[in-house]
Amino acid sequence: MNTLIKIGVAGAGHLGKIHLKCLRELAELYDLRGLYDPDLQTATDAAQQFNCKVFNSLEEMIDDCDAIDIVCPTAAHFSTAVAAMKSLRHVFIEKPVTNTSEEARTLLKLEREAGVKIQVGHVERFNPAFIAAKEHLCKPR
């Protein structure tokens, strides 16, 4: 018997709602525990739309989950990921991962120390405009 991954979404803005929708569609893999957004109205609206719980704090959500999907503003990516990983939670982070390369290196160090996984979202590679441009790119970096 497979155990579903209990996941919470940090951020309920435009991108957060896309993630909530996808997680709902993947109910055979994920137990969407709920979401946290510091804007209570945004959080409440998203929770109603996706029929999930609003957590009162990031810490409360982390305590209830196995993994945290980080789709809050970039400025909060690092602190949110650190809080999750220090609580031994896996994290999925939309890009940009952090504001600085030093913050990214710190996350990699925490990942090793905590024995958790970090995954970075790279959905733009499926964007039709990017796919069409690929044949014109000689040496992308």
Element spanning 8, H or E = strand 5-10
Cβ proximity of 75 and 5 under 8 Å: no
- The vertex-98 CA angle with 25 and 100, nearest 5°, equals 165
34 forms bridges with which residues in the sheet? 8, 53
Dihedral angle at the C-alpha atoms of 5, 43, 15, 116, nearest 10 degrees?
A: -30
**Residue ranges covered by each domain of the chain:** 5-136
Spatial distance between the Cα atoms of 56 and 15, rounded to a whole number of angstroms = 20
For 101-135, b/e burial (b = at least 16 CB within 10 A) is eeebebbeebbeebebebeeeeeeeeeeeeeeeee
CATH class of 5-136: alpha beta
pLDDT averaged over 10-residue windows placed end to end, the chain, 141 residues: 89 95 94 97 97 97 98 96 98 94 97 96 75 78 61
pTM for this model (two decimals) = 0.88
pLDDT at position 122, please? Answer: 78
